[in-house]
C-alpha cells in the first residue's frame, strides 16, 4: 500500500495578463528573477481556462513574466484567468513531500491524488487551503475512484479542504470509502452544504476522524451533510469520530439525511447547533450517536429528531451524550414494525423548550386501540436506561414519552425532570423500574396495559405524583388496565393546588380497572390520596377493583385525606395498610351529593386490616 503526498501550499496567486496553449503571463507583481517558479505547480482557479488539474512550470522568464508549462492547457488562459502557484504539481509522481526535484515531487491537488491511488493507499496532505481547480471544491466519487478505500491524512487541522459534493457515476458498481483525518472541511461558497449526496449517489461512503467540519454563520447556509432521497437501495454512509462540528446558520439541520446505510456521530464536539442536530428519515441501516458534547444555540435545536424513519434494518444506539441549550432531545418514530434493538443509555440532556415537547420521545403520542397495539409490536427491544433529562424552560415539557405503539420496553434507572409530566407511559407491557421522576406531575400511565411499575421515586411539584387515564388516539381509546404498581414512592407533598392528591384517576371517561397497587408509600398533597377526575359522576365507574395492599399513606394538614370526588359504582379496597393524616383525619371520603350515589359507593368501599390514625 503506497503513500502519496499533496503539497498545495500557495507560492503566489494573481490574475494573468495573457496566455496561449503552453504559456501564461503572470501578474505584474510576479518575480523578476529568471527560473524563480521552475518546478512549481500552477492551476487556473477561475475565469478563462479553469483547469481540471494543475500543470508544472518548466521555465520562467523574469523579464516578460511568461511561465512555460509541461503540457497544453485545456483552454488557453487570458487576462481574466485567476491562477495559483503551488509547491506541488499534479504532473509529479506524488512520492515525496517536496517540490519537484527533476525526478520526483508532491502532487498539488487532492482530487488528482485520489485518481492515482489504489485501494488502501494513503495521501498525506500538507497545510493549505485546497480550492480544487476542477470544480473549485473537492468532488468525491469520480470514476477513477470506483470501489477503492482511500485514506486522506492532514498534516494538521490547518489544512482546509473546500468540499461540496459526493458523486457517483451511473456505472459505479462498488462503493468507494474515503477516510479523512486531521483536516478541516469547509463549504464551497455561500449557501452550499459542506457535503451533499444527491438522489443517484448510492455508493459513496465518507468517514471523518479528528477533523473540523463547519458551516459559516449565515441564515441561508446549508447543512454539514445533506443526503436527499435515494433512487435506489441506499449504499452510502457517513461517520464522524473525535471531530469538532460547527453549524450556526439557521434554516438547515446540521445533518439532514434521508436513506442512509450507516450514520455514526461519536466522541465529537458539536458547537453552536442552531437548527436540528441529527435529522434522519427514510430507510436506514444503523444509527450510532454516542459520547458527544452538544451545545445548541437556536430556538429550533433538537438533538436527534428521528421522527420520520420508514424502516431500520440495523440498530439504533444513542448513548453517553451530553447536550445543553436544546429545544427538544431525542425522538424515535419508525413507520414499519422494527425487529431491531433501540438502545438509549446514559445520556444527559438539558432543554430550554420554547414550545411544548419531550426531552425523550419513543413511538407515537397517540394511543392505538386495544387490538392494534398487540398487532403492531413496535419497539419491543427498546432499552431506555440511565438517562438524565431536564427542562429548564418555561413551557410545558414532558421529560419522556413512551408512546402507545411501544410494547415491552425497559425504562430503567432514569432521572427525569419535566416542567409538565416527568414520564408519560402509554405503551404496553413496559418495565418501569428504579427511575427518579419529577415534574409538575410525575408518572402518567395513560392507556398503559400490563405494565410493571416498581421501585420508582416520583415527586410532584404542583400536581399529581401518579396519574391514570385513557388517551383517545388512533381508533378507540385504550383503557389503562392490569398494571402492577408496587414498591414505589409517590410524593405530592410539595403540591399546593387545592385539588391535588398523590394519585389522580381520570380523564374524560376515566375507566380503569384491574390495577394491582401494592406496598407503595404515598405522601399526599392538599386534596387527599385519590382524586377522581372527569365529568361529574359518569355512568361508567371511574375505578374497578383497584386494590391497595400493605401501603403506607400519608397526608398534609389540609383538606381530605383518602378519597376525593369518587364516582358512582366505584369500588376501592384498602387492605392491611397504614393510613395517617393531619387535622382532618385519615378516612374522610367526600361522597357524591346524590343520595343514591353516596349509598352505592359506601357499599363498595372496603377498608380491612388497616391502621387508621391522625
Q: Using one digit for the tens of pLDDT, what is the confidence trace for 114-148?
A: 889 999 999 999 999 887 766 667 777 766 667 78
Cell of 432: 418501569
Q: Which residue has the higher pLDDT, 177 or 474?
A: 177
**Alpha-carbon Rg for the chain in angstroms:** 33
What is the tens place of the pLDDT at every residue in 460-517? 887 778 877 655 443 445 667 788 888 888 887 776 543 344 455 433 333 455 677 7
Helix, strand, coil in percent for the chain, rounding step 5: 5, 45, 50
Which of 208-217, 305-314, 346-355, 550-559 shows the lowest per-residue confidence on average (mean pLDDT)?
550-559
Nearest CA among 154, 162, 261, 256 for reference residue 206: 261
d(CA 433, CA 486): 10
**How far is residue 109's CA from residue 7's CA, in Å, rounded to a whole number?**
8
Cα gap 326→357, rounded to integer Å: 11
What confidence category does residue 536 fall into, taking pLDDT thresholds of 50, 70 and 90? Answer: very low
- Cell representation of residue 318: 444513542
Would you state the pLDDT for residue 380?
61
Q: Give φ, ψ of 186 to 5 degrees.
A: -125, 155
- Residue 126 DSSP SS3: coil
- Predicted local distance difference test score (pLDDT) of residue 532: 45
Residue 541 has pLDDT above 80, yes or no: no
Q: For residue 523, which of 583, 436, 464, 435 has the smallest C-alpha distance?
A: 464
> Region 227-236: what's the mean pLDDT?
75
Q: What pLDDT was estimated at residue 319?
A: 95
Query: For residues 405 and 115, what is the distance between their CA atoms, to the nearest angstrom?
Result: 50
pLDDT of 345 strictly over 60: yes
Mean of the per-residue pLDDT values for the chain? 76
Distance CA 6, CA 166 (A): 20
- 373-417 pLDDT per residue, tens: 333 344 568 899 999 998 876 677 788 988 887 888 999 999 999
> CB atoms < 10 A from the CB of 120, how many?
11
**256-308 pLDDT tens trace:** 888 888 999 999 998 867 677 888 888 888 999 999 998 877 667 778 777 67
Q: Which residue has the cell 400511565?
A: 445
Residue 27: its pLDDT value, please?
96
Q: How far apart are CA 29 and CA 330, in angstroms?
A: 57
Spatial separation of the C-alpha atoms in residues 151 and 170, rounded to whole Å: 24
Grid cell for residue 228: 436527499
Q: Where are the alpha helices (DSSP H) in 89-156?
A: 110-116
Q: Which helix (H) or strand (E) holds 359?
A: strand 357-362
Please tell me the least confidently modeled range out of 3-12, 298-307, 315-324, 571-580. Answer: 571-580
State how far the alpha carbon of 552 is from the alpha carbons of 338, 442, 529, in Å.
42, 19, 11
Amino acid at each position: 500500500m503506497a503513500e502519496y503526498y499533496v503539497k498545495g501550499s500557495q507560492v503566489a496567486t494573481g490574475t494573468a495578463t495573457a496566455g496561449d496553449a503552453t504559456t501564461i503571463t503572470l501578474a505584474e507583481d510576479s518575480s523578476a528573477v529568471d527560473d524563480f517558479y521552475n518546478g512549481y505547480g500552477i492551476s487556473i482557479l477561475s475565469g478563462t481556462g479553469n483547469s481540471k488539474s494543475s500543470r508544472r512550470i518548466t521555465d520562467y522568464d523574469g523579464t516578460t513574466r511568461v511561465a512555460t508549462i509541461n503540457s497544453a492547457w485545456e483552454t488557453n488562459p487570458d487576462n481574466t484567468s485567476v491562477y495559483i502557484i503551488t509547491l506541488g504539481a499534479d504532473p509529479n509522481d506524488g512520492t515525496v513531500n517536496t517540490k519537484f526535484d527533476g525526478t520526483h515531487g508532491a502532487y498539488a491537488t487532492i482530487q488528482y491524488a485520489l485518481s492515482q491511488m489504489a485501494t488502501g493507499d494513503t495521501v498525506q496532505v500538507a497545510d493549505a487551503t485546497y480550492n480544487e481547480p476542477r470544480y473549485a471544491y473537492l468532488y468525491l466519487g469520480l470514476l477513477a475512484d470506483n470501489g477503492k478505500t482511500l485514506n486522506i491524512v492532514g498534516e494538521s487541522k490547518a489544512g482546509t479542504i473546500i468540499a461540496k459534493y459526493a458523486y457517483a457515476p451511473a456505472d459505479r458498481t462498488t462503493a468507494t470509502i474515503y477516510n479523512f483525518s486531521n483536516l478541516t472541511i469547509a463549504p464551497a461558497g455561500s449557501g452550499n452544504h459542506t457535503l451533499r449526496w444527491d438522489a443517484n449517489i448510492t455508493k459513496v461512503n465518507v468517514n471523518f476522524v479528528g477533523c473540523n467540519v463547519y458551516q459559516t454563520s449565515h441564515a441561508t447556509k446549508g447543512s454539514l451533510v445533506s443526503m436527499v432521497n435515494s433512487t435506489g437501495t441506499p449504499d452510502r454512509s457517513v461517520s464522524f469520530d473525535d471531530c469538532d462540528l460547527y453549524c450556526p446558520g439557521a434554516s438547515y439541520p446540521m445533518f439532514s439525511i434521508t436513506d442512509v446505510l450507516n450514520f455514526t456521530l461519536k466522541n465529537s464536539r458539536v458547537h453552536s447547533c442552531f437548527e436540528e442536530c441529527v435529522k434522519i428519515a427514510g430507510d436506514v441501516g444503523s444509527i450510532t450517536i454516542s459520547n458527544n458534547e452538544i451545545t445548541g444555540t437556536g430556538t429550533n435545536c433538537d438533538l436527534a429528531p428521528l421522527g420520520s424513519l420508514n424502516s431500520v434494518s440495523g440498530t439504533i444506539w444513542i448513548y453517553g451524550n451530553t447536550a445543553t441549550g436544546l429545544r427538544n432531545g431525542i425522538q424515535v418514530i419508525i413507520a414499519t414494525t422494527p425487529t431491531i434493538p433501540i438502545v438509549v443509555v446514559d445520556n444527559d440532556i438539558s432543554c430550554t423548550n420554547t414550545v411544548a415537547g419531550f426531552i425523550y420521545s419513543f413511538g407515537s403520542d397517540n394511543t392505538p386501540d386495544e387490538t392494534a397495539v398487540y398487532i403492531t409490536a413496535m419497539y419491543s427491544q427498546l432499552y431506555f436506561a440511565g438517562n438524565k433529562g431536564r427542562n429548564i424552560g418555561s413551557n410545558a415539557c414532558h421529560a419522556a414519552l413512551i408512546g402507545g405503539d411501544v410494547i415491552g420496553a425497559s425504562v430503567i434507572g432514569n432521572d427525569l425532570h419535566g416542567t409538565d409530566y416527568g414520564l408519560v407511559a402509554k405503551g404496553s407491557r413496559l418495565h418501569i423500574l428504579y427511575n427518579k421522576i419529577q415534574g409538575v406531575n410525575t408518572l402518567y400511565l395513560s392507556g398503559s396495559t400490563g405494565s410493571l411499575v416498581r421501585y420508582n421515586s416520583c415527586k410532584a411539584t404542583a400536581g399529581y405524583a401518579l396519574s391514570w387515564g385513557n388517551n383517545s388516539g388512533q381508533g378507540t381509546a385504550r383503557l389503562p388496565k392490569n398494571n402492577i404498581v408496587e414498591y414505589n414512592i409517590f410524593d405530592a407533598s410539595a403540591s399546593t393546588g387545592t385539588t391535588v392528591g398523590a394519585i389522580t384517576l381520570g380523564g374524560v371517561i376515566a375507566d380503569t380497572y384491574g390495577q394491582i397497587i401494592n406496598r407503595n408509600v404515598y405522601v399526599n398533597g392538599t386534596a387527599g390520596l385519590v382524586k377522581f377526575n372527569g365529568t361529574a359522576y359518569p355512568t361508567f365507574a371511574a375505578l374497578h377493583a383497584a386494590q391497595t395492599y400493605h401501603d403506607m399513606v400519608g397526608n398534609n394538614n389540609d383538606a381530605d385525606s383518602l378519597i376525593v370526588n369518587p364516582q358512582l359504582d366505584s369500588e376501592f379496597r384498602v387492605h392491611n395498610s397504614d393510613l395517617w393524616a393531619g387535622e382532618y383525619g385519615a378516612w374522610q371520603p367526600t361522597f357524591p351529593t346524590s343520595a343514591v350515589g353516596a349509598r352505592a359507593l359506601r357499599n363498595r368501599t372496603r377498608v380491612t386490616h388497616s391502621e387508621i390514625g391522625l
